[in-house]
Amino acid sequence: MKDIKAKILSNKLVGRVYYKMALEAPYIARAAKPGQFVQIKCSDGLEPFLRRPFSIYRLKAEGSRLKGIEILYEVVGKGTEILSGKKEGEFVDILGPLGTGFSLSRASSLEPRAIIIAGGIGAAPLVYLAEELKKKKIKTIVLMGAKTKGVILCEKDFKKITPEVYVSTDDGTYGCHGFVSRLFHNILKTLESRFETIVYVCGPHGMLRGIAEICEERGFKCQVSLEEKMACGMGACLGCAVLTKSGNKLACKDGPVFNACELSW
Ligand SMILES: Cc1cc2nc3c(=O)[nH]c(=O)nc-3n(C[C@H](O)[C@H](O)[C@H](O)COP(=O)(O)OP(=O)(O)OC[C@H]3O[C@@H](n4cnc5c(N)ncnc54)[C@H](O)[C@@H]3O)c2cc1C
Ligand code: FES
């Protein structure tokens, strides 16, 4: 993990309140794993004082050389508002890569199959994961849920990686009508059983819990990425405790990715 001043290579509006920012950070790009995050100091002043956590959305390469990382973020408050006003060529302090990301290891000799489930901005860490799964030639299905058509994120990214991308919207304006957990139920009816299925999820807490319950019923391994509020982001302040079956753990250090069966929902 390193604390660096990273040059902003680009910072573009990509949806109603969503931005993609590319940062020059070769060390972080080389060390990063899917599901890890960086802490960014959004302001040059004191307000907001704390850094803000953002998942590593993609690595940025120039030819065969890793040049940096990209983040995908939603403007929700002061820090992200300031970040959205930053211009190409400016610098921001970033600390990373941080946390424990997704595990790609297999538990059996069956052929692996990954099901990625993204809710809203929860898509951000899952694109990098899908890219790594593709490199490992693991068959991947992506399910995406959003409130409405205008806020579906990363559909094109996922479609470049796998042909099996399915979308649901809560209001039925695009894809299947209803929550992504219902879409997951429907997809499960069509799946062959000869694979070892691993489910990777990021999104709102209720969605994570719903998907985790379905996985438990079906006996699937399930890894969830939690978006807890964080302060230091590196295990020092104990401000991001998560209750697990073996006591409290820290979302910033032991997570943000946890095995769903380990958590006390
Ligand atoms: C490990 C991790 C990875 C994350 N990755 C991303 C990402 O890739 N893209 C992205 O857009 N956001 C991500 N988040 C959430 C992001 O950190 C917050 O949206 C951001 O800190 C808000 O800062 P702010 O100053 O703009 O808003 P604030 O003024 O601090 O808060 C505005 C609103 O956002 C809510 N909020 C603040 N922090 C969080 C949080 N951690 N989780 C959920 N809601 C929060 C507050 O309750 C409040 O309602 C991630 C969070 C974590 C913990
Ligand atoms: S945010 Fe400080 S310990 Fe996790």
Residue 106 reports pLDDT greater than 80: no
Residue labelled with tokens 């040049």: 67
Question: With 0-12 CB in 10 A as exposed, 13-18 as middle and 19+ as buried, what is 134?
Answer: middle
Q: Is the peptide bond before 163 cis (omega within 30 degrees of 0)?
A: no
Beta pairing, strands 139-146 & 111-119 = parallel
Question: With 0-12 CB in 10 A as exposed, 13-18 as middle and 19+ as buried, what is 7?
Answer: middle
**Which ligand has the nearest atom to the CA of 241?**
2
Q: In what order do the strands lie in the sheet with 195-202?
A: 176-177, 165-169, 139-146, 111-119, 195-202, 221-225, 257-259
- Does any ligand 1 atom lie closer than 6 A to the CB of residue 15? no
Looking at residue 253, the DSSP 8-state letter turns out to be: T
Q: Among 234, 242, 248, 249, name the best residue to mutate to test ligand 2's pocket (greatest count of ligand atoms within 8 A of Cβ).
A: 234
> Where do the structural domains in the chain lie, given as residue ranges?
2-98, 111-262
Fold of 2-98: Elongation Factor Tu (Ef-tu); domain 3 (2.40.30)
Q: What pLDDT band is residue 40 in, cutting at 50, 70 and 90?
A: very high
- How many whole angstroms from 241 Cα to the centroid of ligand 2? 8
**Which ligand has the nearest atom to the CA of 227?**
1
pLDDT tens, residue by residue, 114-142? 999 999 999 999 999 999 999 999 999 99
pLDDT tens, residue by residue, 192-249? 778 889 999 999 999 999 999 999 999 999 999 998 899 999 999 999 999 999 999 9
What does the pLDDT read at residue 192? 78
- How many whole angstroms from 228 Cα to the centroid of ligand 2? 10
Q: Which CATH architecture has domain 111-262?
A: 3-Layer(aba) Sandwich (3.40)
Nearest alpha carbon to residue 27 among 83, 76, 71, 65: 65
- How many whole angstroms from 229 Cα to the centroid of ligand 1? 7
Q: What pLDDT band is residue 265 in, cutting at 50, 70 and 90?
A: confident
**Which ligand has the nearest atom to the CA of 84?**
1
pTM: 0.95
Question: What are residue 202's DSSP bridge partners?
Answer: 118, 225
What does the pLDDT read at residue 133? 95
What does the pLDDT read at residue 250? 97
